[in-house]
Structure 1
């Protein structure tokens, strides 16, 4: 009886360790340089940099196209992180004005606004769901606004509702790792 209990405990411990190793492999991250090396962000290894041709295809309006995007390739770019630095001057103390304007412009989508401090920088976040069809599907959006060397930096995470439960916290964590 004693040996059976010990064997069972060892078997359960081994299974737990094996599961833990698989879970850790799935959670591997990489620190990547973004925007020409001006900043870094920590992303899961499954994210890859979006090629320029796909960036142009996904963001058809050039004025709304981010300077850089990263995405999960095996889910048809349903999960993306995009980054741009706007030439307009802005101070951290002015970010709340911008988020208020965005909240008002997006009022039909019931956005929420929050303030975060990331690596010593004050930032604003605007969160909302954008309907994408008549069946109730939507695109979850998390926009992060910051002042990068006195210029407006937009960092945006998007995921379709079918993958939101898997990737929402991943996107939030990635945006929370922004360093510059």
Structure 2
């Protein structure tokens, strides 16, 4: 599997992939009102143009066939930039590990641009990928901290290891 940035030559394949994913998620997708269908799709022309330039969005390709995509962008949170994953979609028939590879491509691109936090939603289909990236849960989002920030990051660790806060907190008396 190859993970790469995409270009305008990929737009039609991305739109077809997005439609296939939506139909798999909701078998009655085609019976929904046009406005509802359009609202569930992630690949409008303006969105594709925006994410093509984001530096953190990728497609998963094997033998010329797209199996998934991740759309992410760099944003400022307070006094530092983070990479925010907008969506990660994988075709139901995609090879195992496709979601993990897409997420890892985004984590690597963040690191390569000196951004050390990646925020993304964690549906059940992404939990293994988030765990593999050493993410912590903060509410409904997972955060992957890169470098030394990973050692002191707040939140529930997905890999089962205690957080720094848990290691520093003495056990309760009488426990």
Q: Which structure has more RCO (C-alpha within 8 Å, separation ≥ 6)?
A: 1
Which protein has the bigger strand share?
1
Which TM-score band applies after superposition, normalised by the shorter structure?
under 0.3
Please, what TM-score do these two structures have when normalized by structure 1? 0.25
Please, what TM-score do these two structures have when normalized by structure 2? 0.25
